[in-house]
Structure 1
């Protein structure tokens, strides 16, 4: 894996409202938050660009609605804002893709000469996956840190129900197999970011 110095880390919707298990139901990957923190620390310590994304739900009953405390970023993410030596962007959005937020992510990438980015955050199959898919469609080189994401059990049509792990695997297969993104791990990304410094 070859990471350029301006490969951005896009941290999607790591918000306190996702701790509401009564609302969301069972989740997977309890190590996700530690992995997100490790990626943030690596990107910030190496001076790479970081994008913090917050979802401002338009649904009044959602824990992510701006009127609810759950709209706030999780403390370990919030306390890292502004701490890196590289470029940083904070954006908010009301839909799945971070490319439809304010300020405009694509314009910021273009101005900074960013052509590749890593996706981490919540939910694996929702805003993280949508941001990765759209990035791939727009011609970016997208890396998807699967173990730095998590999601929840979900019911679909015809009474079908998938566990969070099954959903995460489906996302990984779709992104990787469909050519939208390269699905990878936190350890591989951290190692590649560290190796880049010695070149």
Structure 2
């Protein structure tokens, strides 16, 4: 199996602001993310973190606001790089690609927030850059939205649609359990 890492995208306190974002799906996404972080750390596999820095002063992820901070438990360890971005893709304006290539990473296991925005954009770019990508569907989440024509979509519909658009074309969609049992525990990852 290819050299792999866990890429954790934008797990920040600002996403807890339901008044700003609306209703969210997958309430256990963070629990699954933390489970995967522990498993990767125990297996001594690399973890990369991404944090969104909004340029909009009224947004919850603006650096001067509490919402900019990573959620408790998601702070990087000393040997886990943190990349700060201000757009949807973790590859734009950061050294993520250079660091992945320096470590010989070929596969990205991606978790984080939100499925249809920064996760999706990063996944698409990663695939276009030649990485093998897996998205962990129960360790990502989305918020409901209103379409250009006024139609409302639930958070689950947004999540499922975003994953459907990525599946097969840009990524393999997997569960936390699949990563734990079929990849980490079976030593399919090579350091």
TM bucket, shorter chain: over 0.9
For 1:22, the equivalent position in structure 2 comes to 19
Partners of 1:134 and 1:198 in 2: how far apart? 22
For 1:82, the equivalent position in structure 2 comes to 77
Output one character per residue of 1:78-101: Cα deviation in whole Å (capped at 9) or x when no partner.
2xx216xxx521110000011114
- Root-mean-square deviation over aligned CA pairs: 1.6
SS in 2 for 1:118: strand
**Runs of at least 4 residues off by over 6 Å:** none
Output one character per residue of 1:65-84: Cα deviation in whole Å (capped at 9) or x when no partner.
00101100001112xx216x
1:144 and 2:144 matched: no
Unaligned stretches of 5+ residues in structure 1: none
CA contact (8 A) 2:4 2:189 kept: no
Shift of 1:197: 7.3
SS in 2 for 1:54: strand
SS in 2 for 1:75: coil
Partners of 1:122 and 1:195 in 2: how far apart? 28
CA contact (8 A) 2:135 2:171 kept: yes
Shift of 1:55: 0.1
For 1:165, the equivalent position in structure 2 comes to 156
CA contact (8 A) 1:91 1:101 kept: no
With normalisation by structure 2, the TM-score equals 0.94
Partners of 2:52 and 2:25 in 1: how far apart? 20
Match 2:124 to one of 101, 118, 133:
133
For 1:57, the equivalent position in structure 2 comes to 54
With normalisation by structure 1, the TM-score equals 0.91
Distance 1:125 1:198, change over 3 A: closer
- Structure with the larger helix share: 1
For 1:175, the equivalent position in structure 2 comes to 166
For 1:99, the equivalent position in structure 2 comes to 91
1:188 and 2:185 matched: no
Match 1:109 to one of 100, 106, 111:
100
Partners of 2:26 and 2:189 in 1: how far apart? 32
Distance 1:147 1:95, change over 3 A: same
